[in-house]
Structure 1
Amino acid sequence: MSGRNKTPRNLAETVCSELRRRRTPVPDEKIIVDLMETMYYSSLRTEESEPVIFHMVYLDPEQPDPKPPRNPVRDRWSYIPFADPIPFSVSNVVKIAKSTDLRTSSFVIWPDKEHKLFIWGLVDQQNRFHKFLNRSAEIEPERPGIFQASVEGIGNIVVYMRYEKVAELRVNELIRFSLDIFREGPIRDLLAPGIGRYLQEVRSHLPDDVYMTDAGMDEFHTQQWISALCRILLRIQKIRNGGAILITPGIAPADLSVKYGINYDRLLTSLQSNAVTKIKSDYLEEHLLGLTESKPKEILSSQYFQLRRLEKDLRANKNEIDGVIWFIALLTRVDGLVVMNPDLVVRGYGVEIKNWQEPDNLFIATDRLATPAKLRPAAYNHFGTRHRSMMRYCSQNPGSVGFVVSQDGEVRVMTMMEERLVMWENIRLKYYSYSAKKKPA
C-alpha cells in the first residue's frame, strides 16, 4: 500500500487526537480503530442491492444524558435501549442499518467491560440536527454523545464533534479541513454584487427605522442567500446523478447553447419575501411585545393578529423556498448544465457549452483565498467531461463561477483569477459550529 493511502486507522487516530485536544476523556485507541474499521467495511457491503448507510453516536448507555436540561424542548432527542445489545460487527450492521437514517435516528455504540463494541440502542429526533446541518434551519439543537459519525457512501465516513467536522475518510483520502469559500475570498467577492442587489431590494420594502443597517442584520440575510445556493448543491449531491450550475453575467450564443430556456426568478423573490417578513416579525416582537423591557406591554388585538399572520407567512415562505430549491436541483438531472445569472435567476437548463478552447493552465486552491503560494498545478485531462467543459467556459469568461457536482457527491468550484483558472475542492456546504446559533435546551 502506498504511504499516501489513508485507512480507518488514520481516521481513528485523528479522532483520538481531537478528543485529547479538547481535554475529553479518550477511549482506548484500539476501540476507536475497531469502530472505524467496522464502519468502513460495512460501507463496502450492500443489503438487497442497496448501499449500507447509517449514523452513530458514541454514547455511554449507562449515562446517556448526564446533564439533562431543566425544561427540555418537546422535540429533544431521547435514548431507546435494545432489550439485548447487539455485537457491533459488519454482518450485524448490514442487517440492521435500514432501521436508522441520517435524517432521523442514530445507533448508540459503546464498548462493554471487555472493550468489545455493541449497539446498545437508538437515539431519535436527529432530524433537527440534519435540518440545521443542511441549512434548512437556523438554530443549532443539542447533540448527544462524545462524538458522532456517519457512513455516507461506499468507503465514506464522516466524524463530527457537535457541529464541527473533525475528519472525513473518502475511500483512501483523509480530509481534515473543508474550504469555506462562501465566507470570504474570490468566490464570495464574485457573488457579492448579486447579494448586494438582494439586500438593497429587501431594504426598499421596509421603513428605515425597521431595517437596522448594522453589519449583523446584513450578514444574517446574506447567509440566507448563500444558504439557498448551498442547499441546491447539497440537493444535487443527494440525487447522486451529478450536475453542474453556471453563474454567469450573460449568455452568449457562441459559448452556450440553451436547450430549455426559462426565466425562473422565484428563488430570488422568495428569499426577498422571506427576509422582509422575518424583519417585520422580529421588529414587532421586540417593539410591540416589549421583549427588551422588564414588563411585557399590552398590545391591541389587531397587533397580536398581525404578528401571528407574519409567523404564518414565515412558515409559508420557508415551504416556498424548499420547493424552489428542489425544483432547481432536479433540473440538473437533464443532460447539460443549469445556467443562472448573478441574482440566482435560472435562465435555462440542458445547456451545452460550445467553447472548445482548452484553458492554458489549471490550479487547485488549497485555501479559500486562493493564495498564489498555496496553488497546486493540476492536469486538465485528469477530469471528466462535465468538469472539462466548465473549465473551458470559465477560462474564457472571467467573472463566471462554475459549480460541478460529481456522481459520487464531490463538489468543485472554479473561476478565473487574473491569468489562472483556479478550482476549489472539499467545499464546505453544510453549517458548522462557527456560524451556529445555540438554542436553549
Structure 2
Amino acid sequence: MAASFPEDLATHVRAQLVDRKERPPALKVLTQLFETMYFASLKQEEAQPISCRIAFVRRKNPDPKPPKRIVADRWQVSPLAEDLPLTVRNLVKLSTAVDPWGSTLAVDVDDDSRLRIWGLIDQSVHYSTYVAKEASSAPEMPGMFQAVIQATGEIAAYRSTLLLGSLKQDTLVKSQLRALQAGPVHTKLMKSVRLFQRRVQKEVGNELYRERDHWPGSLEQNWISTLCRILIGIHKYQHGGAILISDSATGLNPKYSLSYSRLAEALFRSSVLSIRHTAYSDTIHRKYLDKGLEEIPTDLYLSESVDGTELNDTNDELTGCVRFLASLSRVDGLIWLNSNLHLKAFGVEITIRDEPSKAVVARNPQGTEVKKLNMNHYGTRHRSMLRYCAANPDSVGFVVSQDGDVRAITHANGRVVLWDNIRIQSLVNARARRSE
C-alpha cells in the first residue's frame, strides 16, 4: 500500500465537505493546515507530546446559524488581541495552553488565503465528554469542521461527531471498523450482554422492563460503552495496554491478582435506576402534567427525585470504576476481566507460545473480507494476544497500541482474526452516514 500524506487527507476531507454542501477552503489551504498540524505532532513541548484541536471558523461570521435558545454552556469564541500565523512553532507553543479536552483554536484564512489563528473557543469539554462516552448528548461544535492532533504523527478531521478522515503516520483512514457493534466480536460479547439484560429485567420486573421497547438495546449500548470507556482511558495514557475478556485462566500468569466487581455492579445498579426513574417520570407526565393537573402525589414525586439523585451518584461511581481500571494498564501486562466485566488480575503475562495456525486481518466488522496476517508486523502485545485467542476460542482481546490504534482479536471461523482501528468513541463514519 502506497504511503499517504497530509495532502491526501486534505483531498479526502474536502470531498466530504463538498458532498455535504459546504464551501470548504481551497485544497492548497487544507493541505497547509494538515501539514502544519502533522509536523507539529512530531514535536514536543516541555518534554510532552503535542495535542490540540482547531476549528475552521469564519472570522466575519463565526456563528451563522445560532439556535433559538442559547444554552448557558454553549461555546463562545474569544478573539485574540492580535491574530497569529498558523505555523508549527505557534501551534506547538499554544498547545500547552489549549488542551483539546476543554479548548479549541479558531482558525480562518485572511484576504491573502493565509491561515491565521484568530481566537480561542471555550466549553469544548462537553463535546469531549460525549465523544469519550461520558455524556449522553452531543453539543454542537463551532465551525465548518474541526481537526485534532491525537498523537505523534496522527491527525484527524471531524464535522462535530462525524469522522471525515484521519492520517495515522503514513496511512489514510477513511472510516473505523464497527467490530463492537457487529460481527464475531459483537456476537461473543452479546453472550454476556444477554445475561446482564436478564438480570436487570428480573430486578425491575417484566412490566416495567417492557414499558419501553428500547430497554434491551439501551442496556446493550451501556454495556458495550462501558468497555469502550476503559479502552478510551487506556488510550489517553499514550503508552499502550491490553484488555483480555476470558473466563479461562489457562495460559495466563497474573502478577497482581485482584478481585474487583464494583464496575459490573455499578453498571447493573445504574441500569436498574435508569429504568425506574424513567418509569416514574413517564407516570408523572402521562397522568398529571399532560392533563394539566396541578397536584402530583408526594410519594410519586419523591420516588422520582430520589431515584434521579441515586442514578447520578451511581453514574459518578461508574466513572470512577472506569478510571480505576484504565489506570491499571500502566503496569506491564494486560488487564484480565471475566465475561461479566469482573476484574481478575492486572499485570498479566500470556504464557502460550504456540503460534496460531491461521491468522488474518479483517477488512469488515463481520470478518468475511480478510487478508493474511504477518505476525512479524506486530509487537509483543499483539502476538501474545493472538496466541491466547487462538488457543481460547471464547475469549476476546483488545490491544491499545502506543501509536493510538485500538485493535480487537478473537477466534472466528477456524482462525484467529484481528480487527484494526475499531471504533470506540461516539463517532459516525462519514462514508456510512446515510445508512447509520
Give the TM-score normalised by the residue count of structure 2: 0.95
Aligned to 1:11: 9
Aligned to 2:36: 38
Stretches of structure 2 that go unaligned for 5 or more consecutive residues are 430-436
- Counterpart contact for 2:146–2:157, Cα < 8 Å: yes
* CA distance in structure 2 between the aligned counterparts of 1:292 and 1:354, rounded to whole angstroms: 62
- 2:115 is aligned, of 90, 102, 117, to 117
> Equivalent residue of 1:394, what SS?
helix
Q: What displacement does 1:122 show?
A: 1.0
> Equivalent residue of 1:115, what SS?
coil
Q: What displacement does 1:292 show?
A: 7.7
- 1:99 is aligned, of 83, 97, 109, to 97
- Counterpart contact for 1:9–1:36, Cα < 8 Å: yes
- Counterpart contact for 1:289–1:298, Cα < 8 Å: no
Q: What displacement does 1:206 show?
A: 1.0
Q: Does 1:330 align with 2:324?
A: no
Q: What displacement does 1:49 show?
A: 2.1
Q: Does 1:285 align with 2:261?
A: no
1:328-407 equivalences under 5 Å are: 328-371=325-368, 374-407=369-402
- Counterpart contact for 2:152–2:403, Cα < 8 Å: no
Q: Does 1:141 align with 2:153?
A: no
- Counterpart contact for 1:289–1:299, Cα < 8 Å: no
- 1:292–1:226 CA distance, 2 compared to 1 (3 A): farther
Between 1:76-85 and 1:45-54, the stretch displaced more is: 45-54
Task: List per-residue Cα deviations over 1:179-209 (Å, max 9, x = no partner).
Answer: 0111111001000111011111111111332
Q: Does 1:314 align with 2:315?
A: no
* CA distance in structure 1 between the aligned counterparts of 2:336 and 2:116, rounded to whole angstroms: 49
- Counterpart contact for 2:241–2:399, Cα < 8 Å: yes
Q: Does 1:231 align with 2:229?
A: yes
Aligned to 1:267: 263
> Equivalent residue of 2:206, what SS?
coil
Q: What displacement does 1:213 show?
A: 6.4
> Equivalent residue of 2:310, what SS?
helix
- 1:428 is aligned, of 423, 426, 429, to 423
> Equivalent residue of 1:209, what SS?
helix
Matched letter for residue 13 of structure 1 = T
| Percentage identity across paired residues of the two chains | 34
RMSD: 1.6
Task: List per-residue Cα deviations over 1:361-401 (Å, max 9, x = no partner).
Answer: 21000100001xx2010111221111111111111111111
Matched letter for residue 231 of structure 2 = L
Q: What displacement does 1:215 show?
A: 4.7
Aligned to 2:253: 257
Aligned to 1:63: 61
* CA distance in structure 1 between the aligned counterparts of 2:325 and 2:362, rounded to whole angstroms: 28
Task: List per-residue Cα deviations over 1:329-378 (Å, max 9, x = no partner).
Answer: 1222222222111111111122222211111121000100001xx20101
Matched letter for residue 128 of structure 2 = H
> Equivalent residue of 2:208, what SS?
coil
Between 1:61-70 and 1:164-173, the stretch displaced more is: 61-70
> Equivalent residue of 1:27, what SS?
coil
Task: List per-residue Cα deviations over 1:88-117 (Å, max 9, x = no partner).
Answer: 112221222222111111000000111111
1:166-185 equivalences under 5 Å are: 166-185=164-183
Q: What displacement does 1:322 show?
A: 0.8
- 1:283–1:296 CA distance, 2 compared to 1 (3 A): farther
Q: Does 1:417 align with 2:407?
A: no
* CA distance in structure 1 between the aligned counterparts of 2:229 and 2:304, rounded to whole angstroms: 29
Q: What displacement does 1:297 show?
A: 5.6
* CA distance in structure 2 between the aligned counterparts of 1:187 and 1:292, rounded to whole angstroms: 45
- Counterpart contact for 2:130–2:136, Cα < 8 Å: yes
- Counterpart contact for 2:161–2:426, Cα < 8 Å: yes
- Counterpart contact for 2:209–2:275, Cα < 8 Å: yes
* CA distance in structure 1 between the aligned counterparts of 2:246 and 2:239, rounded to whole angstroms: 23
- Counterpart contact for 1:289–1:296, Cα < 8 Å: no
Between 1:325-334 and 1:10-19, the stretch displaced more is: 325-334
> Equivalent residue of 1:182, what SS?
coil
Stretches of structure 1 that go unaligned for 5 or more consecutive residues are 435-441
* CA distance in structure 2 between the aligned counterparts of 1:231 and 1:269, rounded to whole angstroms: 16
> Equivalent residue of 2:101, what SS?
coil
Across the two proteins, how many residue pairs are aligned to each other? 428
Matched letter for residue 212 of structure 1 = R
- Counterpart contact for 1:288–1:297, Cα < 8 Å: no
